[in-house]
A and B are shown apart, each in its own frame.
Chain A
Amino acid sequence: MEGIILESVSKTFRHRPALFNWLGREQRGETRALTSVSLTVSAGTVLVLLGPNGSGKTTLLKLVSTMLLPDHGWISVNGADTRKQAGKVRQNVGFAVVTERSFFPRLTARENLEFFAALDDVARKCRKQQVETILQQVGLSHAADRLVMKFSSGMWQRLGIARALLKNPSVILLDEPTRSLDPGSATQFFDLVRTLAAQGAAVILATHSFQEALAVGDFVAVLDHGRLSAFRSLSALQQEEKLRSFYFESTGDFEESAQLVSRGA
């Protein structure tokens, strides 16, 4: 099937203290990042992931991208299993990560993108044109030949989005893509995501912004402490206030939120 399927996916991170732990206070333990999460994102749709910090949003994206492998359950990307056919999955997935530290600072934006395009098997004859088009799409044409170590946070973020789109992926993963973008650039970005979905891409976008969710999403999934606590079509939640209520109900923070509102916070 085209798109993304997660079936009973669980992921736990185990912490082992250092060898001479009596020198510090590091604790042994484990973090259950995801517990038995099942969901489907069809081709041509945008799923928005909402959830508090540490709820498992980034872990879920990393699992789909094969950066991580699940402990239990399975994930399929366009019919390929992320465990057994990781190479095939990587050919189809573009991932815009939230971190700024994922480029070569002493290369220009164009050089960085050309390098990653080569690693991602973008055909040599159309590589330059592809890089040019993507730079234009994310509004970085004017800074294409600037060393990326001189970029602002927003420019890093746009470059990350550009890299994710380089190979025309059929699955796009976006981790807080507009966190550092100005409102104008964010609006342009929303249009770009809608266009990509209309062209048939399956998109998962993790965010904390209700406005962003409503602007781009077809469906919303709420993660809370690694569990999928709610899943709904966004057509039923057209207003920001409705989505906000839905989110706080799903995370169990509704009363707390209501108290804050009544206190005028």
Chain B
Amino acid sequence: MTLGSLIDKTIAILRRDLLIAVRYRSGFVITAAGSLAQLAAFYYLARAVGPSFRPDGLDYFPFVLVGTGLFSFLISGMNSFVQIVQEAQQAGTLEILMSTSTPGPVLLFLSALSALTGHTLRLLFYLGAGLFLFGVSARTLNIASCLTILGLSIMSAMSIGIVAAAVQLAIHKGSAVLWLFSSASWLTTGALFPLTALPGPVRAVAQWIPLTHSLQGMRSALLQGARLPSLLPEISVLALFSLVLLPSSLWLFSWTLRRARLQGTLSYY
């Protein structure tokens, strides 16, 4: 497949998703209202906790703002892979989509990329609203560090999302597996509270979840202005996760797709 053809397909998928999103007009308003309500809840939670609680040397509201914002973004990103397969199974488009000239893994990847664009806008809205409406200072923000952590976090989230999509294709329960993963990660990755509050064995498990390093890295880059060299541990771990997980997950998805074609379960849901 040429680069031109890849760009052409990406534009077609983005256009499709944008047109469908526009035709569900209420979706935008509901999402924005939900984000604002969530922000307000965390703001008043932080006030109730009081200024003496400073996890990792940060005020609690910015800590939880970045933690929940990035956590939701990455989990939603993973979920988009499952949703793409699930919706296509339910709408009956999966067999047809997987029989076009575009290879299945490429189609999944591009569709998820389109969904991630939407989630990125939502993340920017969430963080922007948190920073400006609730008066959080981001003067120390280090853009290069933020983008590096974000890029690597997206890659590792994509890998997990592709694995969940493969599970959806194989046993039609990808969303349940992802729900289990996100529930466990909510507890262990330090989205709401610092890892030091957890028992030692749980902290050890947390180190094996890419999200833990994403949250730590992003807080340092966004709220403490950490430069790239000081983020080397987080960057190395996230890069390693991506390097191992991304090709493995794509292989797994291709294998599951072929298995579904052999078993005749591509249209099941």
Smallest CB separation, A92 vs chain B (Å): 9
Contact mask for chain B residues 185-204; partner A; CB cutoff 8 A; 1 contact, 0 none: 00000000000000000000
Contact mask for chain A residues 4-38; partner B; CB cutoff 8 A; 1 contact, 0 none: 00000001011000000000000000000100000
Q: Which residues of B contact A67 (CB under 8 A)?
A: 95, 98-99, 261, 266
Q: Which residues of B contact A104 (CB under 8 A)?
A: 16, 20, 91, 93
Q: Scan residues 85-103 of chain B and give those whose CB is less than 8 A from a CB of chain A.
A: 91-93, 95-103
Bound CA span A177–B94, Å:
20
Cβ of A120 within 8 Å of any chain B Cβ, yes or no, is yes
Are A120 and B264 in touch, CB under 8 angstroms?
Answer: no
Are B101 and A107 in touch, CB under 8 angstroms?
Answer: no
- Of A47-55, A108-116, A179-187, A222-230, the segment with at least 4 beta carbons within 8 Å of chain B is A108-116
Are A97 and B262 in touch, CB under 8 angstroms?
Answer: no
Smallest CB separation, A90 vs chain B (Å): 5
Smallest CB separation, B269 vs chain A (Å): 11
Smallest CB separation, B78 vs chain A (Å): 23
Are A90 and B100 in touch, CB under 8 angstroms?
Answer: yes
Q: Which residues of A contact B96 (CB under 8 A)?
A: 95, 97, 102, 116, 163
Q: Which residues of A contact B100 (CB under 8 A)?
A: 90, 116, 119-120
Are B93 and A71 in touch, CB under 8 angstroms?
Answer: no
Bound CA span A71–B262, Å:
7
Smallest CB separation, A186 vs chain B (Å): 23
Q: Which residues of B contact A69 (CB under 8 A)?
A: 258, 261-262
Are B97 and A119 in touch, CB under 8 angstroms?
Answer: yes
A14-B97 contact, Cβ under 8 Å, with A99-B92, A119-B102: no
Q: Which residues of B contact A66 (CB under 8 A)?
A: 99, 261
Are B95 and A106 in touch, CB under 8 angstroms?
Answer: no
Smallest CB separation, A54 vs chain B (Å): 14
Bound CA span A176–B266, Å:
21
Cβ of B30 within 8 Å of any chain A Cβ, yes or no, is no
Please count how many residues in chain B sit with their CB below 8 Å of the partner chain's CB atoms: 31
Cβ of A258 within 8 Å of any chain B Cβ, yes or no, is no
Contact mask for chain B residues 44-59; partner A; CB cutoff 8 A; 1 contact, 0 none: 0000000000000000
Q: Which of A11, A90, A111 contacts B101 (CB 8 A)?
A: A90
Are A111 and B16 in touch, CB under 8 angstroms?
Answer: yes
Smallest CB separation, A145 vs chain B (Å): 12
Bound CA span A5–B260, Å:
23
Q: Which residues of B contact A107 (CB under 8 A)?
A: 16, 19-20
A120-B91 contact, Cβ under 8 Å, with A67-B266, A107-B19: no
Q: Which residues of A contact B24 (CB under 8 A)?
A: 106
Residue of A87, A116, A163 most packed against chain B (CB within 10 A)? A116
Instruction: Report the nearest B residue to A101, measured CB to CB.
Output: B92
- Of B4-12, B121-129, B146-154, the segment with at least 4 beta carbons within 8 Å of chain A is B4-12
Smallest CB separation, B11 vs chain A (Å): 8
Are A95 and B263 in touch, CB under 8 angstroms?
Answer: no
Are A115 and B93 in touch, CB under 8 angstroms?
Answer: no
Bound CA span A7–B94, Å:
27
Q: Which of A59, A65, A111, A147 contacts B99 (CB 8 A)?
A: A65
Q: Which residues of A contact B262 (CB under 8 A)?
A: 68-69, 71
Q: Which residues of A contact B19 (CB under 8 A)?
A: 106-107, 111
Bound CA span A85–B201, Å:
49
Q: Which residues of B contact A105 (CB under 8 A)?
A: 91
Bound CA span A107–B264, Å:
28
Q: Which residues of B contact A192 (CB under 8 A)?
A: none
Are B8 and A118 in touch, CB under 8 angstroms?
Answer: yes
Cβ of B165 within 8 Å of any chain A Cβ, yes or no, is no
Q: Which residues of B contact A121 (CB under 8 A)?
A: 5, 101-102
Are A101 and B101 in touch, CB under 8 angstroms?
Answer: no
Cβ of B23 within 8 Å of any chain A Cβ, yes or no, is yes
Bound CA span A106–B15, Å:
13
Bound CA span A33–B19, Å:
40
Bound CA span A100–B96, Å:
12
Bound CA span A107–B19, Å:
7
A-B contact pairs, 9 of them (CB 8 A): A13-B263, A62-B95, A67-B98, A67-B261, A101-B93, A103-B93, A107-B20, A111-B15, A120-B100
Chain A residues within 8 Å of B, Cβ to Cβ: 11, 13-14, 33, 59, 62, 65-69, 71, 87, 90-91, 93, 95, 97, 99-107, 111, 114-116, 118-121, 124, 147, 163, 167
Add 17 more A-B contacts to A13-B263, A115-B13, A167-B101 (CB < 8 A).
A14-B263, A67-B266, A68-B262, A69-B261, A71-B262, A87-B101, A95-B99, A102-B93, A106-B20, A107-B20, A111-B15, A111-B16, A114-B12, A116-B96, A119-B12, A120-B101, A147-B23
Q: Which 3 A-B pairs have the closest CB atoms?
A: A101-B92, A118-B12, A119-B100
Chain B residues within 8 Å of A, Cβ to Cβ: 5, 8-9, 11-13, 15-16, 19-20, 23-24, 91-93, 95-103, 107, 258, 261-264, 266
